[in-house]
A and B are shown apart, each in its own frame.
Chain A
Amino acid sequence: MARSPRPGASSPALSRRGVLQLGGGVALLFATSACAADSGDKSKDGKSDGAAAKTLRIAVSSYLSSWDQDFVGFDLTALMLYKNVFPYLIDYGVTNTGGSQILDTQNITPTFAESFEPDAEQKVWTLKLRRGVKFASGNEMKAADVKWSKDRAFAAQANVAGVYRTIGLTSADQVKVVDDYTVEFHQAFPSALTRQIQAISLYVFDSVEAKKRASSSDPWAKEWFAKNPPTGGYFNVAKATQGQEIELSANTDYPGPDPAKTPTIRISVVPAASNQRLQLQAGDIDIALGISQRDIQDLKKTPGIKVISAASNRQVAIQMSVTAAPFNDVNVRKALAYAVPYEQIITNVYGGDARAAKSPVPLDMPGYDEVGYPFTHDLDKAKAAMSAAGRASLDSELVFEADNEEQQKIAVQVQSEAAKAGIRLKLTPLDPATLGERRTKKNIPLQITSGQLWVDDVEYMLATSFVKGANLNYSNYSNPEIEQIYEKSHTTVDTAARNALWKRVQEILAADVPWVVICQPNFNLPVREAVAGWVQPMDGLARLRYLSASA
């Protein structure tokens, strides 16, 4: 049987050859380039095993979602980078505690600013800028830049505008330019929180450059700022390879104390924790900022790597909905507080690397008092509290973050022990958006929360977590006396008087039990042995200027 030829029948033979040639070429390319890449990687100056390394390499879990601080969502990578590349006019100092260097939240010092001081009534705060501070564009930082930045923040009605309310700043009119280097903030009331709130809010844009990029439809140059890194911080962004790497170079024109110690820092994006671990072991990165607890335990025994440990103010808790059954009954809340196996969680989930918490006010926060949480694991007391509530058993849901291994482990252990007291828990992992929505609707009976406060102060803690309408008040908790104390605290600036208020707050919280306070896990960071100068950030946002790599 003869095959009938058709037009173009010979062409496939050519294509096949072409395909084979192409395939061979690609294979050859892969082979040669793999070797080239291998040798290239080993010769990078980023490795810190030489003397006085000029480059530090840091791995993070994700690329930042935007360069615009006023409009960004909650993105820890972005917020950490902002701390290092935006000029923040004031910042925390550093103190040594228990052999660890930590950010000193009680000591806020001018950095790009010359001074930031209140008047006698502590209502008008005067910011004086240093002369000659320049953005990368060459424009000098002036009072007009501060004013433009604050006007933008109020217009955004997002991050800064929200936090400014706590110190009585609600409108752009309250920020006044006095002269080229002086700006005044006219607060509605004096506040002990002013320095701390401004430490997280006083970042400045290059307004001259911004105005060039603005348009009638985009008066605040949102589009430009979302894509273009800010300049003039402790570091400038030398290069940003989308999704992959950001290269920071030290700002040699920084006029304040503690300039950046390392000339270049390369931040690479490595989402998988296991890959961060491998790269740390191989010496391709010096610091791994997204590694899992289990890997950290293993890395403690790995040659060439040290794990920096420090006490942290991150607190893990279970918030109970005090407005819906069954946890609207204080005795049921007490039953759960007695049923949670605190020490077992510290041992099994954190390998002993956590501190037991004795108050909803975090350990080490000024005003902390052990009266705040008098509950320990005691199943007999848990059952007694259930009896006092007139219940033999109850069913509830325990919600936690879907991709959070730590919370999952805690949930399982709480479920197991609570069942012994008659509290049957159904574990519900939720993705971020669903969790966010249910939190807004306040319809979660029990949920595991974890986090640290950006301002190390009980007033701020009340503002965010324990007063009516507070954004993190997932318990929907409200107590008239605490509301009064909160109002009073706004204008109370005397330390002793504030501490007296905080003691009363903790007594009330101990009686009302809106939270099961589980523990405060320690902070652990695996780094290459050559890395020095890590300062534990009490707001969770690393200050890279202190870092160095030595021989």
Chain B
Amino acid sequence: MRILRFVVRRLLQLIPVLLGVVVLAFLLVRVLPGDPVRSILGQNATEEDAAAARARFGLDQSLWQQFLDYLRGLVTGDFGTSIQSGNSVGSEMALRVGPTLELVVISVSIALVVATVLGIWSAKRANRVGDHSVRMFALVGNSIPEFWLGLVLVLVGYSILGWFPAPNGRVDPDTDLTPLTGADLVDGVLTANGPAIASAAAYLVLPVLTLVVGVVAPLLRSVRASALEVLHSESYAAAKAHGLRDRTLHYGYLLRATLVRLPSLAALVFGTAIGSTVLVEYVYSWQGFGQWALRGLLYRDYPVVQASVLVIALCYVLVFLIADVVHAILDPRVRL
């Protein structure tokens, strides 16, 4: 009940935050130099053609009117029409959010598990060879650009070893997967399409690995530092002096206390991972949300930019909300 009240309160607090995001995104995209209409007109287009196109997208209205129309659309779930494609932004976004979320959620989940296991293992072996190796891995993971790592993995995994499919999408089209959520692995499971599940999983390996290497490093360092702090704490020393079993010490004292900081860091890393997908999607021909948002920004496709900023903001606040709840569950001292 306490958590439910907290969640409801936080969800209500989201309304002004998201409203702020809506206003800022609307204004900032228009402050940027660039004319979205000119990019869709043909070579012989005249000023009259440009004016007609502006009228078609409501860009001939006053800024206030455009904003009110946009708000009215949002309330009814209408994100507007893409200037580049002429398609509904909502339907375009629905196709692209699923694939990116699938990529990010799987990557961050794996990174969390790897960071927790390796971080604690490393802290318990502080300053020994294993610890140095893990710290070196974290340092390298922090330093390698995702773009470069992705290209290397494609070269090795696809071109040299031939273990993974060509980097040309998310699932083999011959599996005839029926898209439901846009997340191909999930859709494969939901439609019980075995070949699609296998294919989607195979296509996921390299991009997931690329993202995992990028996001695991900061998590690993944090977990290791937390674990070391716990291992050197008086409470842990006292528990150990009382002769508690290793299993009890590990799970009851070390793990729980170590993981207290992890949720908020994981939330931050989740945001970083969403940002990283722009390049990862490019390398692996993923055609997800990141590439769509980037193209929208490059061509000043106002409705696309506004929608993508709003969705990213929504993801951020929801992930932080989840992180706060998990934090509170792990640490009873936290007041909700």
Contact = CB atoms under 8 A, between A and B. Distances in A.
A283 to B, nearest CB: 10
A30 B42 contact: no
B94 to A, nearest CB: 11
Interface string B200-230: 1111110000000000000000000000000
Interface string A180-192: 0000000000000
A123 interface: no
Contacts of A107: none
Q: Quick one: which of A30, A73, A226, A463 has the most chain B CB within 10 A?
A: A73
Contact of B34 (A36, A247, A431): A431
Contact of A73 (B33, B39, B96): B39
B176 to A, nearest CB: 9
A74 B201 contact: no
A73 B203 contact: no
B44 A165 contact: yes
Interface stretch (B15-23, B69-77, B161-169, B262-270): B161-169
B33 A278 contact: no
A159 B169 contact: no
Interface string A194-223: 000000000000000000000000000011
Interface string A214-243: 000000001100110000000000010111
A157 B167 contact: no
Interface in B1-57: 32-36, 38-46, 48-49, 52-53
A470 B46 CA distance: 8
A230 to B, nearest CB: 15
Contacts of A6: 332
Nearest to A266: B173
B255 to A, nearest CB: 9
Given A74-B39, A433-B33, A157 B49 contact: yes
B297 to A, nearest CB: 8
Given A29-B198, A30-B204, A432 B298 contact: yes
Q: Quick one: which of A74, A75, A285, A433 has the most chain B CB within 10 A?
A: A433
B300 A433 contact: yes
A35 interface: yes
Q: Quick one: which of A3, A71, A239, A275 has the most chain B CB within 10 A?
A: A275
Given A29-B201, A33-B201, A40-B172, A272 B34 contact: no
A517 B242 CA distance: 86
Nearest to A19: B113
Contact of B235 (A1, A30, A223, A440): A1
Nearest to B112: A19
A30 B202 contact: yes
Contacts of A433: 32-36, 39, 298-300
Given A71-B86, A243-B287, A244-B287, A270 B95 contact: no
A471 interface: yes
B193 interface: no
B202 A37 contact: yes
Contacts of B198: 29, 32-33, 36-37
A73 B251 CA distance: 59
A171 interface: no
A387 interface: no
A272 B151 CA distance: 9
Contacts of B40: 71-74, 158
A175 B205 CA distance: 56
B155 interface: yes
Contacts of B48: 157
A97 interface: no
Contacts of A157: 48-49, 52-53
Given A241-B173, A436-B38, A166 B44 contact: yes
Contact of A272 (B159, B169, B238, B282): B282
Nearest to B34: A433
Contacts of B162: 38, 282
Nearest to A276: B168
B202 A158 contact: no
A368 interface: no
A383 B131 CA distance: 66
A279 interface: yes
Given A162-B45, A434-B34, A245 B169 contact: yes
Contacts of A3: 248, 252-253
Contacts of A464: 43-44
Interface residues of B, number: 78
Given A243-B287, A278-B159, A282-B159, A36 B85 contact: no
Contact of B43 (A35, A68, A284, A471): A471
A162 B41 contact: yes
A72 to B, nearest CB: 7
B188 to A, nearest CB: 10
Given A226-B87, A433-B298, A434-B34, A275 B201 contact: no
A11 B69 CA distance: 49
Contacts of B283: 272, 275
A245 B42 contact: no
Contacts of A278: 154-155, 158-159, 166
Contacts of A470: 44
Contacts of A40: 165, 172, 199
Interface in A438-495: 438-440, 454, 463-464, 469-472
B44 A440 contact: no
Nearest to B248: A3
Interface string B141-176: 000000000010011001100111111111111100
A244 B166 CA distance: 12
A285 B166 CA distance: 10
Contact of B173 (A37, A222, A244): A244
A34 B157 CA distance: 10
Nearest to B162: A38
A162 B87 CA distance: 22
Contacts of B285: 244, 268-272, 275
A165 B48 CA distance: 13
Contacts of B202: 30, 33-34, 36-38
Q: Quick one: which of B52, B171, B202, B288 has the most chain A CB within 10 A?
A: B202
A92 interface: no
B68 interface: no
A438 B165 CA distance: 43
A72 B41 contact: no
Q: Quick one: which of A6, A59, A274, A470 has the most chain B CB within 10 A?
A: A274
A29 B197 contact: yes
A37 B200 CA distance: 9
B181 interface: no
B86 A270 contact: no
B169 A269 contact: yes
A333 to B, nearest CB: 24
A238 to B, nearest CB: 10
Nearest to B82: A65
B157 to A, nearest CB: 9
A86 to B, nearest CB: 16
A349 B225 CA distance: 51
A52 B85 CA distance: 38
Nearest to B205: A30
Nearest first, the 5 closest Cβ-Cβ pairs linking A and B are A433-B34, A243-B287, A73-B40, A37-B202, A244-B169
Given A65-B85, A282-B162, 9 more contacts: A1-B239, A23-B113, A161-B49, A162-B43, A272-B167, A274-B154, A433-B36, A434-B32, A440-B35
23 contacts: A6-B332, A13-B251, A34-B202, A37-B202, A44-B174, A59-B168, A65-B82, A73-B39, A74-B39, A157-B49, A159-B42, A162-B43, A162-B45, A243-B96, A247-B173, A268-B169, A271-B285, A274-B154, A281-B159, A431-B34, A431-B298, A432-B34, A436-B38
